[in-house]
Chains A and B, each alone.
Chain A
Amino acid sequence: MKYMLLMQFSAAGTDFPSIDTWTPEEIQAHIGFMIETNGKLAADGELVQAEGLAGPQQARIVRAGAGGAPVVTEGPFAETKEFLAGWWIVDCETPERAVEIAAHISTAPGPGGRPLNMPIEVHPVMSAPPQEM
């Protein structure tokens, strides 16, 4: 079963300063943790995909306007309250395992090397074979 894990940052749900205020060592430790985590998931045969997203400054919200032409209705977001920072798709045996992976990612180190305990959303991906109805 595949699960999508979303690293969703929100001003309300997090109690740590944004990464641009961290020391180089703190940033390095954070990146090292992510690389190690992805390496472990790959070695376990569970990693389908992992991507980080560019910052909210580069994001846009697009709707179709007259004749289907794209209309940018919002963004770039200079001071956004909530944004998606990255995601993983993992393929694992049980929902419990997906939760375990999410909890591990949540412990990524932040300022002072302390775990960020950031919220990770776990979504099952629609990948099961259908039953005959």
Chain B
Amino acid sequence: MLSRRFGDFATAEDAVQEALLAAATQWPVDGLPDNPRGWLVQVAYRRMIELVRAEAARRDREDRAARREGDDRRTAPPADEALATDRDDTLVLLFLCCHPTLSTASAIALTLRAVGGLSTAEIARAFLVPEATMAQRISRAKQRIRASGLPFRMPDEEERQDRLATVLHVLYLIFTEGHTASLGADLRRVDLSEEAIRLTRAMHALLPDDSEVAGLLALMLLTDARAAARTGPSGELISLADQDRGRWDAAAIAEGTTLVTRAMARGPVGPYQLQAAIAALHDEAPTAAATDWPQILALYQVLERLSGNPVVSLNRAVATAMVHGPAAGLDALAALDADPRLAGHHRLDAARAHLYEMAGDRERAVTHYRAAAGGTTSLPEQRYLTMRAARLATLGAPS
């Protein structure tokens, strides 16, 4: 509300924080006001006015205010617009926090702080960096938004799809970052995957007709449904094929499947829906052997055409192996060697190792598992790949 009224996101956030601080000190003494939200808004509003008045350069301020003023501020809003405004404010805030001028790390931090409402200390712990460093990252991001003179308003229609894609990407990165936390000693008190799901759910409520927002929410639910089975007692990774499917979250699978089915029927179909549909096919298989690989392969082929992402091509090659045998999969992988984006990438080695293992070529499988282990920057992956190589090498050794 304040960001919208004053067009100054950073100062508005400071004002709100001060209002919350006032509430934390006054409410326990004076009792809860009749209208806590109204009380907070009023205190923040007053503080905001003080902060704005304190700003030294008046002319500079007026300049910036004029630039920030949304077109819709020049005419009085209709009386029944209050709800729509609240809804739009959250969206506009998301668009601002995930602006392409910000680095990915800054966008993630700012989104968690300003939209997710996490404290700087919580975000710092989640990413295992000092609180002062995270505070600087957030304050830098705010400065950058201020300096670029971005208006606090909804992006234009033509810009909106691109900007929405950036928002979804940031939410997805927050979600995958959460997978680091679920492994080994958990020092992080905030579950980033849960937080990403909460934010995406809120976004889905704001844009119920957007099929990719629904697709992303479905993808998160269908992936998170396997979280409990994904790691063993000492935090070791368990491959999809070896997971105890009884530990998958049936409610999350049902919700994700319904979401993605509806979204794809409505269209337009995008990468998140396709990935969610693939996740749903894995989740619906009662055993690894019962997985509908032909359908997964078909979805990867569509996804490959749509996204042009080499990692998708890699997954498509693995699906090819599951349908047409390891030799066909290895041929598909060989075609990817020329892609500079994948050259020397550990995931290419990991996929190749897996297919050689399928083909019964233990020696090559061990070589590629070891190469993949040397190339990854994820500790659980490194342990998994090293262990896989060791097991195969032991099997292969003459006894």
CA of A44 to CA of B138 in the docked complex: distance in angstroms? 10
Q: Tell me, yes or no, whether B6 is within 8 Å of chain A by CB.
A: no
Q: Tell me, yes or no, whether A26 is within 8 Å of chain B by CB.
A: no
CA of A124 to CA of B381 in the docked complex: distance in angstroms? 15
Residue numbers in A under 8 Å from B130 (CB-CB): 47-49
Residue numbers in B under 8 Å from A54 (CB-CB): none
| Closest-CB distance, A14 to chain B (whole angstroms) | 29
Please, how many residues of chain B have a CB less than 8 angstroms from a CB on the other chain? Answer: 39
Number of A-B contacts (CB under 8 A): 78
| Chain A residue nearest in CB terms to B178 | A129
Partner of A130, one of B105, B106, B134, B378: B378
Partner of A42, one of B105, B136, B230, B376: B136
Residue numbers in B under 8 Å from A93 (CB-CB): 103-105
Q: Tell me, yes or no, whether A131 is within 8 Å of chain B by CB.
A: yes
Residue numbers in A under 8 Å from B104 (CB-CB): 93
Within 8 A of B (CB), among A40-68: 42-49
Question: Which of B104, B128, B140: most chain A Cβ within 10 A?
Answer: B128
B136-A44 in contact (CB<8A): yes
CA of A49 to CA of B128 in the docked complex: distance in angstroms? 11
Q: Tell me, yes or no, whether A31 is within 8 Å of chain B by CB.
A: no
Residue numbers in A under 8 Å from B129 (CB-CB): 48, 91
Given the known inter-chain contacts A45-B136, A45-B137, A47-B133, please indicate yes or no for A131 contacting B105, CB distance below 8 A: no
Residue numbers in B under 8 Å from A47 (CB-CB): 130, 133
Q: Interface readout for B364-399 with A: 1 if CB under 8 Å, 0 if not?
A: 000000000000111111101000000000000000
CA of A47 to CA of B135 in the docked complex: distance in angstroms? 12
| Closest-CB distance, A5 to chain B (whole angstroms) | 15
| Chain A residue nearest in CB terms to B140 | A45
A126-B377 in contact (CB<8A): yes
Given the known inter-chain contacts A126-B377, A126-B379, please indicate yes or no for A133 contacting B136, CB distance below 8 A: no
Task: Give the B-binding residues of A (Cβ under 8 A).
Answer: 1, 42-49, 91, 93, 124-133
A-B contact pairs, 26 of them (CB 8 A): A42-B133, A45-B134, A45-B137, A45-B138, A46-B133, A91-B105, A91-B129, A124-B377, A126-B378, A126-B379, A127-B180, A127-B379, A128-B376, A128-B381, A129-B176, A129-B177, A129-B180, A130-B179, A130-B180, A130-B237, A132-B226, A133-B239, A133-B240, A133-B350, A133-B354, A133-B384
